[in-house]
């Protein structure tokens, strides 16, 4: 019997690739950059399964180009904002993602950014590299303390909670805002307090974003939000770039309305080299690498491959974001 046909939109780590090639007749996009929309449409025609990355916008048109054979869209990410999930649901196509396995890796990175911004680690490194280190001085490169400060977490799901666990090791006071969060917290997080967004912004020394990008969270951080933040606060974003309005962020940092920010995600990605954000000393930007440990990316590749293989062989996806497709 012939193997199911799939399109994989980029070379994923070996552990996942091997599984895909074992079970499927696969076309793996060879480019270093994602396929263009036309290339994507051309390559999905007639496939049984699609393994996509967060850089690939997958909408109804792409699904229709694939046609009625398409049995699964497996996203190599926990976030699925690049996929029109309701269009997939309407067509009865299950969409897979890669939750849990990247939680701790991402929370480690978010906490790393928080410390780096608070203690000006990147700026300090740049200062040494460019010959700015003349002597030890009492008022040189002063930052703010992390221990004992208040951390506001927007989105108290898996990654938000994992960040809170790290922060409690630094004796931080934890506030969170998440309308959809369960109220029962594990014992180690029982001191975390659920507050409305406004209270969080007013009381937090650090605010870290861990909510998915939806139409409700698009530009949740805008001029008005920044005005409500505590003067001297620091913003961390490892979720999705478009949750923060980039021009409002620029203004808030340039005017020192907030002290600093550290972001792993931007809008757009990659950030164009002429972006004014790149001129700011009080902004750390990393290239969307919060989940990028070798072990975690291997697990993500494996999980995305397992979702793909389950879908093309008519089994329920182990990790499915639209399980309602199985109800009919």
First to last CA, the chain: 28
Of 76-84, 163-171, 188-196, 318-326, the segment contacting ligand GLV by CB under 6 A is: 76-84
By beta-carbon proximity to ligand GLV, the closer residue of 259 and 265 is 265
Size of the site for ligand GLV (CB under 6 A): 6
Nearest to 16 by CA among 315, 299, 326: 299
CA-based nearest residue to 209, from 174, 186, 241, 172: 241
Residue in 34, 57, 79, 143 binding ligand GLV, rule: CB under 6 A: 79
Task: Decide: 301 and 47 in contact? Cβ < 8 Å.
Answer: no
Mark whether 269 is an active-site residue: yes
DSSP code of residue 233:
-
Give the shortest CB-225-to-ligand GLV separation in angstroms. Answer: 22
Task: Compute the least distance from the CB of residue 292 to ligand GLV, in Å.
Answer: 9
**For residues 51-70, which are near ligand GLV according to CB under 6 A?**
54
Q: Which of 66, 77, 117, 146: binder of ligand GLV (CB under 6 A)? A: 77
**Which one is catalytic: 10, 288, 297, 306?**
288
Is residue 78 a contact point for ligand GLV (CB under 6 A)? yes
Q: How far is the CB of 47 from ligand GLV (least distance, A)?
A: 23
Instruction: Give min distance, CB of 314 to ligand GLV, in A.
Output: 26
Helix 103-118 and helix 158-168, axial crossing angle in degrees, nearest 10: 50
Subset of residues 290 to 309 that bind ligand GLV, contact rule: CB under 6 A: 291
User: What 3-state class would DSSP assign to 263?
Assistant: strand
CA 73/CA 9 separation, integer angstroms? 11
Set 269, 279, 316, 324: catalytic member: 269
Measured from the CB of residue 180, what is the shortest distance to ligand GLV in angstroms?
Answer: 18
State how beta strands 234-237 and 173-177 pair. unpaired
Q: Which is nearer to ligand GLV, 4 or 157 (CB)?
A: 157
Give yes or no: 288 in active site. Answer: yes
Encoded one letter per residue, x for contact with ligand GLV by CB under 6 A and - for no contact, window 241-280 reads ----------------------------------------
Beta bridge partners of 72: 49
Residue 54 or 65: the one with the smaller Cβ distance to ligand GLV is 54
What are the Cα distances from residue 202, in Å, to 118, 233, 303? 18, 9, 40
Q: Which region, judged by CB under 6 A, interacts with ligand GLV, from 74-82, 139-147, 199-207, 303-311?
A: 74-82
CB of residue 81 vs ligand GLV: minimum separation in angstroms?
8
Residue that has been written with the tokens 């699925």 in this structure = 80
DSSP 267-294: SSSSPPTT-GGGG-TTEEE--S-TT--H
Q: How far is the CB of 80 from ligand GLV (least distance, A)?
A: 8
Of 77-85, 216-224, 251-259, 268-276, which segment contacts ligand GLV by CB under 6 A? 77-85
The DSSP result for 127-166, as a single string, is HHHTT---S--TTTT-----TT-EEEEE--SHHHHHHHHH
Task: Supply φ then ψ for residue 58, to 5 degrees.
Answer: -115, 105
Peptide bond into 270 cis (omega under 30): yes
Q: Please list every residue from 81 through 120 that binds ligand GLV, using CB under 6 A.
A: 102
Closest residue by Cα to residue 239 from 183, 323, 158: 158
Catalytic residues: 240, 269, 288
Task: Give residues in contact with ligand GLV (CB under 6 A).
Answer: 54, 77-79, 102, 291
């Amino acid at each position: 019997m012939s193997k199911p046909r799939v399109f994989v939109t980029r070379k994923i780590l070996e552990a996942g690739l091997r599984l895909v090639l074992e079970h499927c007749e696969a076309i793996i996009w060879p480019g270093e950059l994602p396929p263009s929309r036309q290339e994507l449409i051309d390559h999905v025609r007639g496939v049984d399964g699609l393994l996509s990355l967060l850089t690939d916008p997958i909408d109804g048109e792409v699904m229709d180009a694939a046609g009625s054979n398409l049995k699964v869209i497996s996203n190599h990410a926990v976030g699925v904002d690049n996929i029109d999930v309701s269009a997939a649901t309407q067509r009865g196509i299950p969409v897979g993602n890669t939750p849990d396995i990247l939680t701790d890796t991402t929370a480690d990175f978010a906490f790393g950014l928080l410390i780096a911004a608070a203690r000006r680690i990147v700026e300090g490194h740049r200062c040494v590299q460019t010959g700015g280190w003349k002597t030890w001085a009492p008022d040189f490169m002063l930052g703010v303390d992390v221990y004992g400060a208040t951390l506001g977490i927007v989105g108290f799901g898996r990654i938000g909670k994992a960040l809170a666990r790290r922060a409690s090791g630094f004796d931080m006071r934890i506030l969170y805002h998440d309308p959809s969060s369960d109220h029962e917290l594990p014992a180690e997080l029982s001191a975390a307090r659920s507050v409305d967004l406004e209270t969080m912004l007013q009381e937090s020394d650090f605010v870290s974003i861990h909510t998915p990008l939806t139409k409700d969270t698009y530009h949740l951080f805008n001029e008005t939000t920044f005005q409500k933040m505590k003067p001297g606060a620091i913003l961390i974003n490892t979720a999705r770039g478009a949750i923060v309005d980039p021009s409002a962020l620029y203004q808030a940092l340039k005017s020192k309305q907030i002290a600093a920010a550290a972001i792993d995600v931007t809008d757009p990605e990659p950030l164009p080299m002429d972006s004014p954000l790149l001129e700011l000393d009080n902004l750390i930007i990393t290239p969307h690498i919060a989940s990028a440990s070798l072990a975690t990316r291997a697990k993500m590749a494996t999980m995305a491959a397992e979702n793909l293989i389950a879908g093309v062989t008519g089994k329920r996806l182990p990790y499915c974001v639209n399980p309602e497709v199985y109800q009919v």
